[in-house]
Every structure is written in C-alpha cells, then in structure tokens.
Amino acid sequence: MPAESLFAIVVLLGLMGYAVVSDLRQHRIPNRLILAGLLLGLAGQTYGAGLTGLGDAALAVVIGFSIFIPIYALGGMAAGDVKLMAMVGAFLSPGVAIWAALYSLIAGGLCGLLLVLARGQAKQTLARCWLMLKVRTYLAPGEDEVAGKPFPYAVAILIGTLVSLLWLPDSSWTER
C-alpha cells in the first residue's frame, strides 16, 4: 500500500474517531469537522490522482450523501450523520463509497437491534412494529423505549467504513 493511501486512512480514521466521540458525548457532529474532512479528502485525492482524483472524490461525496439523505428526510437520522457519510466519501473511490454507506446502514441496524435486545425491549419493539404493519401507519416509540432515543450513528458509519476498508482489496478503495 502506498504511503499516501496509508496516510489518508490514518487521517480519515482520526476524523471519524473525533466524530464518534463528539456524537457519543453531545449527539452532534461539528460542521467544522465535516468541512475539514471534506477539504482534506478532496485535496488528498487531487494530490494523488489530479483532476481525475478530484472528480472521483466529488462523486463519492455525492454517493455517500445521496444514500443517506432519504433516511434523514424520513426522520431516521440526523443531518450530521448524512454530512459525515459524505465526508467519508471524499477519501474513497465511488465504488468503495457505496460499500461504506451500505455497510454503515447494516451496522446501524445491527447496533439498533443490539440496543433493543440489551435493554430487554425486543418484545415491546416487535409488538409496535407488528401493530404498525396491521394499521399501516407509523407509531412512534414510547418514551421508555430505546428505539425512541437518539442513536450516535457516527459509530455505525465508523464500523461500516472500517468493514469496507478491511474487506475490499487493498487497491480498490482508492482505485480509479
């Protein structure tokens, strides 16, 4: 793996670590972090592959944003999570950005399921979901349900990004 790629991974993981800590502590991801990450990712891709790298990074940003924005529009996540996924895309190729976003969504679902199970609310959550299917309308979780609490989705984005970096071949995450 080229030194530039390793450096980009370290920078991305450092930014993601900061986002996770911020999301866990304050339930928000600072816009300054997102902007810095976008600029660093785009600059790094431009440095590594010129205008082709910049174009690929810009496309990967749009991909990360586009996959998450419908979930935000439906109230399933916060705007900071959408922006964070877009920032992650700036460091990846478009193909890997798709996988990182999809793995992040899977990780988010699994984390949510684990939270419901850990709090002993599986029966309550399943009953509410079954009722929603019967009446064909959304029923908000009760105040006592973990499903109604804010979830630090930066954790899921970090997991999904790590999985995409570890499972895909070394060269594919920045491949043009």
Domain containing 40 equals 3-118+151-173
Report yes or no on 141 lying in a domain.
no
Look at residue 137 and tell me if it is in a domain: no
Whether 155 is in a domain gets the answer yes
Q: Do the domain assignments include residue 32?
A: yes
Cβ(97)–Cβ(88) below 8 Å: yes
Domain count, the chain: 1
Please calculate the CA angle 161-167-170 and round it to the nearest 5 degrees. 95
Looking from the CA of 57 toward its CB, the CA atoms found within 13 Å total: 23
Distance between CA atoms of residues 155 and 168, nearest Å: 20
Q: Which residues contact 49 (CB under 8 A, 6 or more apart)?
A: 56, 176
What sign for the dihedral angle of Cα 119, 122, 127, 130?
positive
Is 158 domain-assigned?
yes
First CA to last CA distance, the chain = 15
Looking at the domain assignment, is residue 42 inside a domain? yes
**129 in any annotated domain:** no
Closest residue by Cα to residue 154 from 91, 68, 92: 68
Is 81 a member of any domain? yes
Instruction: From first to last of the 176 residues of the chain, give the pLDDT tens digit.
Output: 566 788 999 999 999 999 999 999 999 999 999 999 999 999 999 999 999 999 999 999 999 999 999 999 998 899 999 999 999 999 999 999 999 999 999 999 999 999 999 999 999 999 999 999 999 998 889 888 998 888 999 999 999 999 999 887 654 444 44
Cα gap 94→41, rounded to integer Å: 13
Is this model's pTM higher than 0.85 or not? Answer: yes
